[in-house]
Amino acid sequence: MAMTLVHQIEETARFTAVHAASAPEDAASVPWLVTGAVLMVQQACTLALSEAGAELPAMAGPAELVARVADAEHLAQPYTAPLKPAHHRALDAVIAARNSVMHPRPDGLAIDARALPDGLEVATGLVRHLLLTQPVRPSMVSDAEAASIRHSLDLIDMSVDFWRTVLA
Protein backbone atom coordinates (compact mmCIF):
# COMPACT_ATOMS: atom_id res chain seq x y z
CA MET A 1 0.00 0.00 0.00
CA ALA A 2 1.52 3.31 -1.11
CA MET A 3 0.76 6.37 0.99
CA THR A 4 2.37 9.77 0.48
CA LEU A 5 4.27 11.28 3.38
CA VAL A 6 1.80 14.17 3.53
CA HIS A 7 -1.07 11.70 3.85
CA GLN A 8 0.85 9.88 6.59
CA ILE A 9 1.30 13.17 8.45
CA GLU A 10 -2.40 13.90 8.07
CA GLU A 11 -3.31 10.49 9.52
CA THR A 12 -0.74 10.77 12.32
CA ALA A 13 -2.05 14.22 13.27
CA ARG A 14 -5.61 12.87 13.36
CA PHE A 15 -4.51 9.89 15.50
CA THR A 16 -2.60 12.18 17.85
CA ALA A 17 -5.58 14.53 18.18
CA VAL A 18 -7.82 11.64 19.24
CA HIS A 19 -5.39 10.63 21.98
CA ALA A 20 -4.79 14.22 23.03
CA ALA A 21 -8.52 14.56 23.63
CA SER A 22 -8.60 11.34 25.66
CA ALA A 23 -5.40 11.84 27.67
CA PRO A 24 -6.79 14.20 30.36
CA GLU A 25 -9.29 11.53 31.42
CA ASP A 26 -7.64 8.30 30.28
CA ALA A 27 -4.00 7.69 31.18
CA ALA A 28 -3.93 4.82 28.66
CA SER A 29 -3.99 7.43 25.88
CA VAL A 30 -0.81 9.18 27.06
CA PRO A 31 1.61 6.61 25.55
CA TRP A 32 -0.24 6.84 22.23
CA LEU A 33 -0.29 10.63 22.42
CA VAL A 34 3.48 10.95 22.86
CA THR A 35 4.14 8.27 20.23
CA GLY A 36 1.91 10.05 17.72
CA ALA A 37 3.33 13.48 18.51
CA VAL A 38 6.92 12.37 18.00
CA LEU A 39 6.09 10.49 14.81
CA MET A 40 4.21 13.52 13.47
CA VAL A 41 7.27 15.72 14.15
CA GLN A 42 9.61 13.22 12.49
CA GLN A 43 7.38 13.02 9.43
CA ALA A 44 7.09 16.81 9.09
CA CYS A 45 10.85 17.30 9.52
CA THR A 46 11.58 14.58 6.97
CA LEU A 47 9.20 16.14 4.45
CA ALA A 48 10.61 19.66 4.90
CA LEU A 49 14.23 18.52 4.69
CA SER A 50 13.49 16.33 1.68
CA GLU A 51 11.69 19.16 -0.14
CA ALA A 52 14.69 21.42 0.56
CA GLY A 53 17.05 18.85 -0.94
CA ALA A 54 18.86 18.34 2.36
CA GLU A 55 20.67 15.10 2.99
CA LEU A 56 18.78 12.84 5.38
CA PRO A 57 20.61 10.39 7.62
CA ALA A 58 19.50 6.78 7.19
CA MET A 59 18.34 6.34 10.80
CA ALA A 60 17.83 9.85 12.13
CA GLY A 61 16.17 10.15 15.50
CA PRO A 62 13.56 12.80 16.22
CA ALA A 63 15.93 15.11 18.11
CA GLU A 64 18.41 15.05 15.23
CA LEU A 65 15.70 15.83 12.67
CA VAL A 66 14.42 18.71 14.80
CA ALA A 67 17.96 20.04 15.18
CA ARG A 68 18.37 19.95 11.40
CA VAL A 69 15.16 21.86 10.62
CA ALA A 70 16.19 24.47 13.21
CA ASP A 71 19.60 24.91 11.58
CA ALA A 72 19.90 27.24 8.57
CA GLU A 73 22.75 25.05 7.30
CA HIS A 74 20.22 22.26 6.66
CA LEU A 75 17.00 24.21 6.10
CA ALA A 76 17.59 27.70 4.72
CA GLN A 77 15.84 30.81 5.95
CA PRO A 78 12.94 31.59 5.98
CA TYR A 79 12.04 27.90 6.28
CA THR A 80 14.26 27.26 9.30
CA ALA A 81 12.18 26.35 12.35
CA PRO A 82 12.33 29.17 14.94
CA LEU A 83 13.21 27.04 17.96
CA LYS A 84 14.93 28.28 21.09
CA PRO A 85 16.79 26.06 23.58
CA ALA A 86 13.69 25.96 25.82
CA HIS A 87 11.68 24.59 22.89
CA HIS A 88 14.23 21.82 22.33
CA ARG A 89 14.15 20.93 26.06
CA ALA A 90 10.35 20.82 26.09
CA LEU A 91 10.28 18.59 23.02
CA ASP A 92 13.00 16.39 24.55
CA ALA A 93 10.60 15.57 27.41
CA VAL A 94 8.02 14.27 24.90
CA ILE A 95 10.71 12.32 23.03
CA ALA A 96 11.93 10.80 26.31
CA ALA A 97 8.36 9.78 27.16
CA ARG A 98 7.95 8.23 23.71
CA ASN A 99 11.26 6.39 24.15
CA SER A 100 10.06 4.92 27.43
CA VAL A 101 6.95 3.65 25.62
CA MET A 102 8.96 2.21 22.73
CA HIS A 103 11.53 0.52 24.99
CA PRO A 104 9.49 -1.21 27.74
CA ARG A 105 10.99 -2.01 31.11
CA PRO A 106 10.09 -4.95 33.33
CA ASP A 107 8.79 -2.61 36.04
CA GLY A 108 6.29 -1.00 33.64
CA LEU A 109 5.76 2.48 32.32
CA ALA A 110 5.90 5.70 34.31
CA ILE A 111 5.44 8.99 32.45
CA ASP A 112 5.34 12.32 34.24
CA ALA A 113 2.43 13.94 32.42
CA ARG A 114 3.20 17.36 33.90
CA ALA A 115 6.35 17.56 31.74
CA LEU A 116 4.47 16.99 28.47
CA PRO A 117 2.16 19.96 27.63
CA ASP A 118 4.96 22.40 26.72
CA GLY A 119 6.62 19.83 24.46
CA LEU A 120 3.33 18.90 22.83
CA GLU A 121 2.76 22.57 22.00
CA VAL A 122 6.26 22.76 20.52
CA ALA A 123 5.46 19.67 18.43
CA THR A 124 2.26 21.16 17.00
CA GLY A 125 3.95 24.52 16.45
CA LEU A 126 6.83 22.87 14.61
CA VAL A 127 4.53 20.86 12.34
CA ARG A 128 2.41 23.95 11.73
CA HIS A 129 5.51 25.99 10.79
CA LEU A 130 7.02 23.36 8.49
CA LEU A 131 3.83 22.42 6.66
CA LEU A 132 1.39 25.30 6.90
CA THR A 133 3.06 28.59 7.80
CA GLN A 134 6.39 28.39 5.97
CA PRO A 135 6.49 25.28 3.77
CA VAL A 136 9.61 24.83 1.64
CA ARG A 137 7.37 24.34 -1.39
CA PRO A 138 3.86 25.77 -1.00
CA SER A 139 2.34 23.08 -3.24
CA MET A 140 3.73 20.19 -1.15
CA VAL A 141 0.51 20.14 0.90
CA SER A 142 -2.85 20.47 -0.84
CA ASP A 143 -5.47 22.84 0.52
CA ALA A 144 -7.58 19.91 1.75
CA GLU A 145 -4.61 18.23 3.45
CA ALA A 146 -3.58 21.55 5.01
CA ALA A 147 -7.10 22.09 6.36
CA SER A 148 -7.17 18.59 7.84
CA ILE A 149 -3.71 18.92 9.42
CA ARG A 150 -4.55 22.40 10.76
CA HIS A 151 -7.76 21.08 12.30
CA SER A 152 -5.95 18.19 14.01
CA LEU A 153 -3.19 20.49 15.31
CA ASP A 154 -5.81 22.90 16.67
CA LEU A 155 -7.56 20.00 18.44
CA ILE A 156 -4.27 18.86 19.97
CA ASP A 157 -3.52 22.39 21.20
CA MET A 158 -7.03 22.74 22.65
CA SER A 159 -6.69 19.39 24.43
CA VAL A 160 -3.27 20.32 25.81
CA ASP A 161 -4.72 23.57 27.18
CA PHE A 162 -7.47 21.59 28.91
CA TRP A 163 -4.94 19.00 30.12
CA ARG A 164 -2.95 21.75 31.84
CA THR A 165 -6.01 22.58 33.97
CA VAL A 166 -6.38 18.91 34.91
CA LEU A 167 -2.70 18.62 35.85
CA ALA A 168 -2.69 21.84 37.90
Alpha-carbon distance values, 88 to 27, 124, 143 (Å)? 25, 13, 29
What pLDDT, on the 0 to 100 scale, is given for residue 58?
87
What pLDDT, on the 0 to 100 scale, is given for residue 46?
97
* Ranges of each domain in the chain: 5-51+60-137
As a whole number of angstroms, the distance between CA 68 and CA 88 comes to 12
As a whole number of angstroms, the distance between CA 125 and CA 117 comes to 12
Q: Annotate the chain with DSSP letters as a single string.
A: ----HHHHHHHHHHHHHHHHHHTTT-GGGHHHHHHHHHHHHHHHHHHHHHHTT----TT--HHHHHHHHT-TTTS-TTTS----HHHHHHHHHHHHHHHHHHS--TT-----GGGSHHHHHHHHHHHHIIIIIS-SSGGGS-HHHHHHHHHHHHHHHHHHHHHHHHH-
As a whole number of angstroms, the distance between CA 19 and CA 39 comes to 14
What pLDDT, on the 0 to 100 scale, is given for residue 124?
98
What pLDDT, on the 0 to 100 scale, is given for residue 93?
96
- The dihedral through the CA atoms of 96, 97, 102, 104 has a sign that is positive
Per-residue pLDDT of the chain (168 residues; tens, 9 = 90+): 789 999 999 999 999 999 999 998 898 999 999 999 999 999 999 999 999 999 898 888 999 999 999 999 999 999 999 999 999 999 999 999 999 999 988 888 888 888 899 999 999 999 999 999 999 998 999 999 999 999 999 999 999 999 888 776
What pLDDT, on the 0 to 100 scale, is given for residue 168?
67
